[in-house]
Amino acid sequence: MEKTSTPDLCDIHADQLKVLTPVFNSYGGRSNFFGQVVTVKCHEDNSLVKQQAATPGKGRVLVVDGGGSMRRALLGDMIAENAVKMGWSGFVIYGCIRDCDEIAALDLGVKALNTIPVKTEKRGLGDLNVPITFAGQTIHPGDWIYCDNNGIVVAKRKL
């Protein structure tokens, strides 16, 4: 995977980027990742996250709007391991994850608000590929997201 610096992208493509508010921590083994966006909107139920991680990722990034909940983890090691096998580039989660030490050992980018050991209830609730809004920006399915230790930026097209 090519390295793409978010500061460089901001310098070159400032008029084409949306910059997310810096509220995320990095948990995956890959700190620099990017890809086309698939969105999931869910609240304390990671059924759709698990389902999507089991499909071919094709280098895409699953962007999850968990409503900023700090009560349940939307990603754990088993889903993350499956995502690596299926070719996902990473996850950006507006919510929490768990199994952070195991996830840190994977070749996967993971940005989330924090960690919590509590799993979600599986009720099959959530929305796939809808516009989602968090961290000061609206992200659409098919957008391109670029993440590194400097921040997260979103563009309408691949840069």
Q: DSSP letters of 31-60?
A: SSEEEEEEEEE-SS--HHHHHHHTS--TT-
Q: How far apart are CA 28 and CA 119, in angstroms?
A: 18
Q: How far apart are CA 48 and CA 22, in angstroms?
A: 25
Q: Is 99 annotated as a binding residue?
A: yes
Select from 1, 34, 5, 3 the least CA-distant residue to 149.
5
Q: Is 77 annotated as a binding residue?
A: yes
Q: Is 98 annotated as a binding residue?
A: yes
CB 118 within 8 A of CB 124: no
CB 111 within 8 A of CB 91: yes
Q: Is 60 annotated as a binding residue?
A: no
Which residue ranges make up the annotated binding site? 76-79, 98-99
Which residue ranges make up the annotated binding site for substrate? 76-79, 98
Which residue ranges make up the annotated binding site for Mg(2+)? 99
